Amino acid sequence: MTDREPDPIDIALREDIGEGDVTTQLVIPEDARARARVMSREKAVIAGTGPAAEVFRRVDPQLKVSTGLTDGTVVLEGETILEINGSTRSILTAERAALNFLQRLSGIATLTRAFVEAIGKNPAKIMDTRKTTPGLRALEKAAVVAGGGINHRFGLFDMVLVKDNHLVAQPDLAQLAVAIRKAKLRNPSMKVEVEADSLEQVRALIHIEEIDLILLDNMETTEMREAIALGRNRKVKFEASGGVNLKTVRRIAATGVDFISVGALTHSAPAIDLSLELTPISS
């Protein structure tokens, strides 16, 4: 994290602990010690082990936190993800915030892996979107990578993406072409993508050489194949978006698109069921 970026771990701890864990301080002796295991209650692709471990360390730097797993590892029901040793109070205080990161990010990685596997041998890449939880984008995009997907643009600043509402506000493609050429002259490495929802738009866009990608939005697979055929002799690549789910993604991938963006990876991934099992250590 840089000084300019919000720290999601700090936010989570302040949100959960506030002025202090009154229950744990009331019930648990200050000198109580324990070891704990964070376990999965279902098969999952793990992500977020780093943030989860950091939660425990921030609550108490004296806690010993270890994991033999790396993000992207498949775990089975009952398998241990993290082990923590130290103050019982500290473990209990950190538990929920740590598990929240781990269950959320593992859910994203698990759903991403399901999409990656669903496309079979088709070469298309599964890609995320900006439909992320505010403040957690970096962590959620890392979870997509752990699941085998790739990242689209991080924000509004690192790629030009002209979408349908931009085209509604500025429908003149000739002016759009001039603006894109100017942008490429200023920053040749900046990727440029433009959305198209019809073959007519694709025909017009493929003649703008500075466009790197064309986003095929909510097109039928027959239209996608035609669009890709139109761009076959050009450097332009194609991304499919809209109407993508686990039942349709293989059919979409079979059209020959280069990328398939799936908003559900980050906005609808179900959390993984995890538990923390505590074992007191006799003094």
Q: SS3 letters for the chain?
A: CCCCCCCHHHHHHHHHHCCCCHHHHHHCCCCCEEEEEEEECCCEECCCHHHHHHHHHHHCCCCEEECCCCCCCEECCCCEEEEEEEEHHHHHHHHHHHHHHHHHHHHHHHHHHHHHHHCCCCCCEEECCCCCCCCCHHHHHHHHHHCCCECCCCCCCCCEEECHHHHHHCCCHHHHHHHHHHHHHHCCCCCEEEEECCHHHHHHHCCCCCCCEEEEECCCHHHHHHHHHHCCCCCCEEEEECCCCCCCHHHHHCCCCCEEECCHHHHCCCCCCEEEEEEEECC
217 flagged as catalytic: yes
Out of 21, 95, 193, 195, pick the active-site residue: 195
Which among 71, 128, 193, 217 is annotated as catalytic? 217
**Catalytic residue among 35, 57, 130, 131, which?**
131
Among the options 163, 182, 234, 251, which is catalytic? 163
Q: Is 195 a catalytic residue?
A: yes
Indicate if 130 belongs to the active site: no
**Catalytic annotation, pick one of 96, 130, 225, 250:** 96
Question: Where in the sequence numbering do the catalytic residues fall?
Answer: 96, 131, 163, 195, 217
